Amino acid sequence: TPPFDVNLVRRDFPILQEYVNGKQLIWLDNAATTQKPKQVIDRISYFYEHENSNIHRAAHELAARATDAYEGARKKVQEFLNAGSVNEIVFVRGATEAINLVAKSWGEQNLHAGDEIIVSNLEHHANIVPWQQLAAKKGLKIKVIPVDDDGQILLDEYTKLLGPKTKLVSFTQVSNALGTVTPAAQIVHLAHLAGAKVLVDGAQSVSHMRVDVRALNADWFVFSGHKVFGPTGIGVLYGKEALLNETQPWQGGGNMIVDVTFEHTQYHNAPSRFEAGTGNIADAVGLGAAIDYVSRLGMDAIAQYEHYLLEYATGLLKEVPGIRLIGTAPDKASVLSFVLAGYKTEEVGAELNKEGIAVRSGHHCAQPILRRFGVESTVRPSLAFYNTCAEIDVLVNTLHRLAR
Ligand code: PMP
């Protein structure tokens, strides 16, 4: 039995009552984005109805309320990640912007011709392209950790790639295309032994498992609010405080300065130095409400229930004639990826849509890993804690009908 009442939980998500093509929506596109509980929607409304202001605390009452709400959300993120200080939490637009921030600030300042960056074969394009752009500009080399036929990182091969030229290892904690959970703490530890910095992409992990950045010991950790039941347009860069403070900001403007003359500008310490201009205040507050929501359910309870759902779905999908599951690691989270003989992936997606089932069919912004398995596209149902076995049954029954 699930560690919480899924039917009660579902009532918190108004969109789950939507009808699509005459069928009740079955949202299995959680790896692309998650749905929002009423608590998040209401919190954002409350902000605009009662607190809206720019965040210059001293200016007036609403400025103080907005500042408290925004900084309160930062505190919630800090506790959610078990970061050592609120100063380590930088609000950004999402995981993509967080990675670009590190590439364009720390990377620009610290990497030089001949230096090496290691990524894994599993990466989302957001954790490939910014490094490629930097590599082209600076003459860096990018090396790729291979995976085995189940989609698991090959640690021995990784160890061989590490060397004195390795300056950065940047990898995902959970693959968005296959669902593989990587041995993140081990990868971080080995990188540090080689003297490299490490960035962990948590875009697909924070919504499915407890994350402790201090235990992980990565130098940076990034995630997007919209994948953890919060709004779009807000995300987080966690960075170790000393490292953030020794990195020059990438964008200049208001909020990030201590003093400006025409000759010289003195920057604030983190996080302000990386938050130039007016940020996405309301959505940061909404993200705080999303974190409250999942924390109340409990990340361990969520992980346990989703594991049960994933096992249930995997067992049934294997029985569908002509299906090929891609990504068969024993340690996985949320994601199922497959192709079905006789159908293009977009045809499967369209047939599922007729039944009200939302899945992504495509390359999932992770072309290298799909090509590793000889495909350009998969069908990708991805689970969250509000999904049920009954929904999975509808998915599987539809696939059986197609397979016949
Ligand atoms: N990394 C991973 C593993 C992802 O799944 C995603 C989103 N699909 C991203 C990075 C990028 O996130 P966003 O588009 O929210 O910036």
127/268 same-domain check: yes
Mutate to test the pocket of ligand 1, among 30, 92, 124 (most ligand atoms within 8 A of CB): 124
Instruction: Please give the chain's pLDDT, 404 residues, in tens.
Output: 678 999 999 999 999 999 999 999 999 999 999 999 999 999 999 999 999 999 987 789 999 999 999 999 999 999 999 999 999 999 999 999 999 999 999 999 999 999 999 999 999 999 999 999 999 999 999 999 999 999 999 999 999 999 999 999 999 999 999 999 999 999 999 999 999 999 999 999 999 999 999 999 999 999 999 999 999 999 999 999 999 999 999 999 999 999 999 999 999 999 999 999 999 999 999 999 999 999 999 999 999 999 999 999 999 999 999 999 999 999 999 999 999 999 999 999 999 999 999 999 999 999 999 999 999 999 999 999 999 999 999 999 999 999 99
* CATH number, position 385: 3.90.1150.10
153/62 same-domain check: yes
For atom 12 of ligand 1, the residue with the nearest CA is 95
Asked whether 176 lines ligand 1 (CB < 6 A), one says yes
Q: Which residue, of 262, 295, 328, is where some domain finishes? A: 295
Residue-averaged pLDDT of the chain: 97
Q: Which residue, of 259, 276, 295, is where some domain finishes? A: 295
**How many Å apart are CA 301 and CA 299, to the nearest integer?**
5
Q: Which residue, of 246, 265, 295, is where some domain finishes? A: 295
358/324 same-domain check: yes
Residue 343 forms part of a structural domain: yes
52/194 same-domain check: yes
Based on the structure, what is the number of domains in the chain? 2
Atom of ligand 1 nearest to the CA of 227: 15
Atom of ligand 1 nearest to the CA of 224: 15
177: helix, strand or coil:
coil
**How many Å apart are CA 218 and CA 59, to the nearest integer?**
38
* CATH number, position 289: 3.40.640.10
- Distances, alpha carbon 253 to alpha carbons 62, 244, 259, 267, 276, in Å: 23, 18, 11, 10, 5
256/211 same-domain check: yes
Atom of ligand 1 nearest to the CA of 93: 16
Residue 11 forms part of a structural domain: yes
Residue 35 forms part of a structural domain: no
Asked whether 182 lines ligand 1 (CB < 6 A), one says no
195/122 same-domain check: yes
195-224 pLDDT, tens per residue? 999 999 999 999 999 999 999 999 999 999
Atom of ligand 1 nearest to the CA of 174: 3
Residue 37 forms part of a structural domain: no
Residue 36 forms part of a structural domain: no
Cα(380) to centroid of ligand 1, in Å?
A: 15
Query: Which stretches of 77-219 are assigned E, i.e. beta strand?
Result: 89-92, 116-120, 141-145, 166-172, 197-201
Atom of ligand 1 nearest to the CA of 32: 8
Residue 365 a catalytic site member = yes
Residue 65 forms part of a structural domain: yes
Asked whether 332 lines ligand 1 (CB < 6 A), one says no
Asked whether 30 lines ligand 1 (CB < 6 A), one says no
Cα(278) to centroid of ligand 1, in Å?
A: 23
**How many Å apart are CA 27 and CA 72, to the nearest integer?**
31
Asked whether 93 lines ligand 1 (CB < 6 A), one says no
Asked whether 126 lines ligand 1 (CB < 6 A), one says yes
304/210 same-domain check: no
For atom 5 of ligand 1, the residue with the nearest CA is 176
Task: Return the amino acid letter for 338.
Answer: F
Catalytic residue among 365, 367, 368, 375: 365
182/102 same-domain check: yes
168-201 pLDDT, tens per residue? 999 999 999 999 999 999 999 999 999 999 999 9
Bridge partners, residue 238, by sequence: 89, 221
Asked whether 224 lines ligand 1 (CB < 6 A), one says yes
121/73 same-domain check: yes
159/82 same-domain check: yes
**How many Å apart are CA 388 and CA 24, to the nearest integer?**
13
Which residue segment(s) compose the domain that 79 sits in? 42-295
Residue 155 forms part of a structural domain: yes
Mutate to test the pocket of ligand 1, among 93, 176, 207 (most ligand atoms within 8 A of CB): 176
Residue 48 forms part of a structural domain: yes
303/287 same-domain check: no
For atom 8 of ligand 1, the residue with the nearest CA is 32
Mutate to test the pocket of ligand 1, among 96, 221, 364, 369 (most ligand atoms within 8 A of CB): 96
103-125 pLDDT, tens per residue? 999 999 999 999 999 999 999 99
DSSP tally for the chain: helices H, then strands E: 15, 17
322/193 same-domain check: no
Cα(172) to centroid of ligand 1, in Å?
A: 10
Mutate to test the pocket of ligand 1, among 34, 227, 229 (most ligand atoms within 8 A of CB): 227
As a residue count, the chain comes to: 404
The Cβ-side half-sphere exposure at 25, using a 13 Å CA radius, reads 17
